[in-house]
Amino acid sequence: MDTDIYLAPVNFPFVTIAGDGVHTLRKGTPLVQVIPFTRHDERLPDTIRTESKNEADERQLVYRNTLAAEGWYRQQARSRR
């Protein structure tokens, strides 16, 4: 996942190997491994700044569209049962 250029929030999926039931993870249990690296790419700026109003609007649009699509997929899965 290129989280440095992806506009919407990211939910990292994972698979459990425990049996069925409710399980509680202890505080501090690692869930995601992040491997940072230096990207040598012209697309990324060499300064850090706050996002512009247009960038914030675009990010929100991507996020809302993602939520809407997830709802559509869930609805499709329910109708196939």
With 0.75 as the threshold, say if the pTM is over it: no
- Give the pLDDT confidence of 30-51 residue by residue, as tens digits: 877 777 777 666 666 677 788 8
User: Distance (Å, rounded) from C-alpha 47 to C-alpha 78?
Assistant: 46
- Give the pLDDT confidence of 54-65 residue by residue, as tens digits: 999 988 888 888
Cα-based distances in Å from 81 to 15, 20, 75, 76: 23, 21, 10, 9
Residues 6+ apart with CB under 8 A from 14: 31, 32
How many domains is the chain partitioned into structurally? 1
Q: Which domain holds residue 47?
A: 1-19+27-81
Cα-based distances in Å from 32 to 13, 28, 35, 39, 57: 9, 11, 10, 20, 28
